[in-house]
Structure 1
Amino acid sequence: MLQLAHVHHVAVICSDYEASKRFYTEVLGLKVVREVYRAERESYKLDLALGEQYLIELFSFPAPPPRVSQPEAAGLRHLAFAVPNLDAALAELDRLQIAHEPVRTDEYTGKRFSFFFDPDGLPLELYEV
């Protein structure tokens, strides 16, 4: 068995780097750890943290192919963020005019959650803890 310690990061490839950078930093509130432009790949790499936890690597590439991204599609399902108050988080999304799905309740834990999407349609979840 592998001796895994924890998830280190999630890598996301975006189609519009500036729009995604704004979304992840200004809407989600992630902080920039490092931003580099890799000329040989015509690609930006933006390292983002949530609090002190390194979390997301945001990449841009010229003309990335589209990917199916509905929460129930095969492959990576979604990226989930814990929130202390789901209603407050959804109100903030409403204020920012970011659409979200109706609130659902996890049938096993009784916890409430909702999905919304990043600028490329990547499903993101807010999970009330």
Structure 2
Amino acid sequence: MDDFAVREMLNRLLPPWARLYGLVPVSVSSSGIALRLPYSSVLCHLDDAISNQVLATVADVAMIIAVSAAIGEIRPMAPVYMNTHYVRRVRSGSVFISAHVSRLFTRTGSGEVEMLDESGSVAVHATATYTMVAA
């Protein structure tokens, strides 16, 4: 899966309102994906920090793309478990997202997502498990 395929997947997976996030693919492999979320005041609360709802959506999307890259195709899937830790607020600069698949079975995939602020500090850490609809 290349960057073009990831961009197509983002357009296909994200609802119109989430496409406004402007997620940018950085790299993709069978073990994971890296994305960049550009800072935008549109994504922020009144205190200029990116909304946790935005970050949770990005974590969900990143894991779906990582699992899809690992299995080599886009399959309908849904989270059955997601635990998200918001470590620090992001008030400026891009957010760098990495999602890695740790376990992959016929109908399930699990892994973790880490989001770093521009200084390289952890802003969000999430773990998730997804169930896939049989092809």
Alignment TM-score, normalising by the size of structure 2:
0.27
* Bigger share in helix: 2
> Whose Rg is larger?
1
Alignment TM-score, normalising by the size of structure 1:
0.27
